[in-house]
Structure 1
Amino acid sequence: MNKKKRSFPTAFTVLFIVLIFAAALTYIVPAGSYAKLKYESDKKIFTVTKPDGSVEEAKPTQETLNKLGVKVDIQRFVDGSISKPVAIPGTYEKVKQNPQGPIDVIQAPVKGIQETIDIIAFLLIIGGCIGVLNNSGAFDAGIDSLSRATKGKEFLLIVIITVLISLGGTTFGLAEETIALYPILVPVFMAAGYDALVCIAALYMGSSIGTMFSTVNPFSSVIASNAAGTTFTAGLGMRTAGLIIATIFTIIYIVKYGKKIKKDPTKSLIYDQKEEIEGKFLKSHEQKVIPEFTFRRKLMLLVFGSAFAVMIWGVSTKEWWFTEMTTLFLVVGIALGVISGMGEKEFVNKFVTGAADLISVALVVGVARAINLVMENGLISDSILHFSSNAVQGMNPYVFILVMLLLFIILGFFIPSSSGLAVLSMPIMAPLADAVGLPRDVIVSAYQYGQGLIAFITPTGLILATLALVDVTYDKWLKFIMPLMGYTAAFAAVMLLIQVAFK
């Protein structure tokens, strides 16, 4: 009798396990909260929300900030650089425990989907565009043309993609937007002789390294520096050097793995899924039916590719977010249908079919958000921050900064939003640097490195949605990424120690 082969759980099962763990923590970790300060731009007033829920108003002056111990320039609030509520140092209070029970856990994924509907809509519209392109034969023709053009120089795909995505990450926080690129680039990498992990690594790690070593990223470096009471230019040189070095050894790591599996495909960590993934992404290549790369197909790919350039321009200069990005690709999808020459009924069918292919990924995004909701509603996020800040007081500066790195790795798991973690933690953590004689920009670097590191693997971030796109299980990703994560962690620690030594 054949025994059923054991397989690693799906992304949904992993997320539900983490969700139950988070709910269990709300019974164990004492509930607590800091008072939160927010600038109400419409009323031109500060509001202070206390742990008991009461709200007080305060004058929007520097004197008010100094009195509250928030060492930030008032202009940062007035000009909108800091728009989210900021934790006020020294105001932590224990509050009534609010454990999240079975009903809360069951409802959390539904609420998570509701709260991430903007991301979900973006994914579904992108899926529709992909469906139209796939049906037209434009992708297959383009992949075949690119494969022939890069023959013998396939490693350049890894170099170019990783560098470009890293630049996007370090400048404007390119992250969620990369989800749209996987259905496009996975077949390109596979046609070049690599496995899907190489493509995932080039895109995901390019984004992760870029945001980890952010230079002018407004959602990371700028907002964290503002909340810490320093400027983002302080420590910029070290972070720039870190970005260059980390990107180089990330590329070397990916190229080395890619070279190994090109030589011997059985060395691939996902070799057992080779037929399954190739069937999904290289169906026509397997059948040796490559459509002609006509002008019409070239124009479709040009229009689709140009949309990403427009999206990057909008996000980086016009403060676009998911509403604008989704609208852009909806227009592009309609344009692709017109250019393709397919009839109205066929266009709608292929668009809907393409959107349906990404429903599972969209649901993963919603369930991941559910974990954050459980911790927020359970009132334990501030408690974890409070305990962390108490743990590092009075330490030697070198030990202090390494412990801070570890603490931000932990905090990054519970609060995966870079801007959310910045405004919550910086007003609390940054003053601790003063006590040990360190400049506050060192804390900003520790925050970036710690949160960036945990983003490599945290189920509450983007990685599970990314893996679900390509049908790669979480255990395979962990096996691939853990050595690189170890090297990057050691490098980050060295960079922080150098920053402390030359403070």
Structure 2
Amino acid sequence: MEQPKSQNIHKPSPLEKKKDRMPHIYVLLFIISGLAALLTYLIPAGSFERVPGPNGRESIDPNSFTTVDASPVSFMDFMLAIPVGMASASEIIFFTFIIGGMFMVLRRTEIIEIGVDRLARKFQHKSIAVIPVLLTLFAVVATTIGTPELSLVYIPVLIPLFISLGYDSMTAAGIALISTALGFTAGVMNPGTVGISQQISGLETYSGFGLRVVVLVVIVLIGSLYIMRYAKKIKQDPSKSYTHEEDEIKRVKYKDALKQPAKRATKRQLVAISTLPIFFGILVYGVTQLGWFMLEMSGLFIFMGILVGIISGLSLTKVCEAFTEGFREVLMGAIIIGIARSVAIVLEEGQIMDTIVYGLGNLVGHLPSTLSAIGMMTVQLFINFFIPSGSGQALVTMPIMAPLADMLGVTRQTAILAFQFGDGFAHILFPTSGYFMAALVIAGIGWTKWVKFFSPLFFIFMGVGIVFLIYAQLTGWTG
């Protein structure tokens, strides 16, 4: 007798049903953008006058806030918010595409596989030790040149390494994202946050170096211990991984890598590998000495991909095909960046961004003096949701927070530290942070799963920030 066809129909598992109920990140960001549009009908419009700021960038005059005629976002404005967001975020979108293309070229040359193979063999008997080493290295780079976007570069290298060592994609993404965010937050030599903020506040550039180094050491230590604890749990029981389902194909591909003969580089590959430190040195010099940002870094990475590909033996056609394939792999992440930017576009079009900043600044002014620095950090954290750019947030908020600190009996150095804590840790939490969401796409990790992994550590970091701010306020820290 013929079996009923219904018996052959796949019944989704509870995990699949739960996943289907999760809103797609496009939907989530669209909803947030819609709520921002609604706020333009509820919050009075206002504006600060723009004046020349540090490094030729536009800042605000803190004494110039005035209410203006309401201009709530129309349906047409809302419809255009995402395309305008794409255009506004074009630098980081282009940067994301170039990162994807450049890494695909490096994969085709097989020098990434060779490097991962050597690292995995070197650390296979003490694999947990690689976590604090890499976390410290990446944090030091980020605190020096102020580019947390380099996490997009690290993730494609770290995932095969940590899968082959018996961990998961979350461990790899955690190292890349947390390390760069911590270095960026501590801002020992960060030109985009500390440098600009101190220029706005009339302080010596990079003063307060000592305490910021202590901050960096403490938060890197905490971050290392947190990721190591998670990694040990995954090593003992892989089913406890937040990305167990997503890593299934990766485990098949990389888990037996150490059982195979060691990969050996050809002479051409060795020459290509030797050029990588040179390119990194150029990158550091360009960012720290020449003021490079994403466009310049993108140009360097294009040149790097072409040159390394040719040296390794790839034809120009294969280099171009690799770039194209890499573009496809990061397409979703690049689109997310533009959609995330649409939230700020809506607030700016409705002329309520300045109103929100002005209102939050006044709110801090009404707090008891003992809570002023903590209040500043909380306000900066809230503003970061709408302005997920460290330098952009500094240019908008520090002209208000610096004189407000004088009125509240808080040193300007402490106000900058409050800005660092409020801005930095949230870069890898809020879905409006474009590079962060792109990094999750590259790692194959859903935002909700990342939040489950990172949120306990986020609150620990915020607690650490409060302790440092209390110390700075009680001691009258001036750097």
TM-score where L is the length of structure 2 = 0.90
Unmatched 5+ stretches in structure 2: 1-8
Aligned match of 1:9 in 23, 43, 61?
Answer: 23
Corresponding residue of 2:44: 30
Distance 1:17 1:277, change over 3 A: farther
Distance 1:266 1:434 in 2: 53
Shift in Å, 1:155: 2.2
Aligned match of 2:190 in 217, 232, 236?
Answer: 217
Corresponding residue of 1:440: 412
Amino acid aligned to 1:190 = I
Shift in Å, 1:120: 2.6
Equivalent residues of 1:456, 1:485 under 8 A apart: no
Deviations 1:154-193, CA, capped at 9 Å, x for gaps = 2232112211221122222121233122212221122122
How many residues align? The count is 461
Aligned match of 1:325 in 290, 297, 311?
Answer: 297
Corresponding residue of 1:160: 133
Corresponding residue of 1:392: 364
Distance 2:114 2:214 in 1: 40
Distance 1:24 1:262, change over 3 A: same
Shift in Å, 1:273: 1.6
Corresponding residue of 1:89: 62
Which moved further from structure 2: 98-107 or 25-34? 98-107
Aligned match of 1:493 in 455, 466, 479?
Answer: 466
Shift in Å, 1:129: 2.5
Corresponding residue of 1:429: 401
Aligned match of 1:406 in 366, 370, 378?
Answer: 378
Shift in Å, 1:218: 1.3
Does residue 1:230 correspond to 2:244, yes or no? no
Amino acid aligned to 1:256 = R
Distance 2:205 2:475 in 1: 18
Shift in Å, 1:286: 11
Shift in Å, 1:491: 0.8
Determine helix, strand or coil for the equivalent of 2:284.
Answer: helix
Shift in Å, 1:381: 1.2
Distance 1:125 1:17 in 2: 29
Distance 1:317 1:227, change over 3 A: same
- Which is richer in helix? 2
Corresponding residue of 2:5: none
Q: How does 1:71-220 map to 2 (within 5 A)?
A: 81-220=54-193
Q: How does 1:450-465 map to 2 (within 5 A)?
A: 450-461=422-433, 462-465=435-438
Equivalent residues of 2:165, 2:255 under 8 A apart: no
Determine helix, strand or coil for the equivalent of 2:308.
Answer: helix
Amino acid aligned to 1:129 = M
Shift in Å, 1:365: 1.7
Determine helix, strand or coil for the equivalent of 1:460.
Answer: coil
Identical counterparts, % of pairs: 29
Equivalent residues of 2:193, 2:391 under 8 A apart: yes
Distance 2:74 2:251 in 1: 43
Unmatched 5+ stretches in structure 1: 39-76
Distance 1:230 1:129, change over 3 A: closer
Corresponding residue of 1:346: 318
Equivalent residues of 2:166, 2:255 under 8 A apart: no
After TM superposition, which residue ranges in structure 1, 4 or more long, deviate above 6 angstroms?
Answer: 286-290
Distance 2:198 2:316 in 1: 51
Distance 2:235 2:271 in 1: 32
Equivalent residues of 2:121, 2:258 under 8 A apart: no
Determine helix, strand or coil for the equivalent of 2:17.
Answer: coil
TM-score where L is the length of structure 1 = 0.85
Shift in Å, 1:283: 9.5
Corresponding residue of 1:378: 350
Amino acid aligned to 2:222 = F
Does residue 1:248 correspond to 2:221, yes or no? yes
Corresponding residue of 1:418: 390
Which moved further from structure 2: 401-410 or 148-157? 148-157
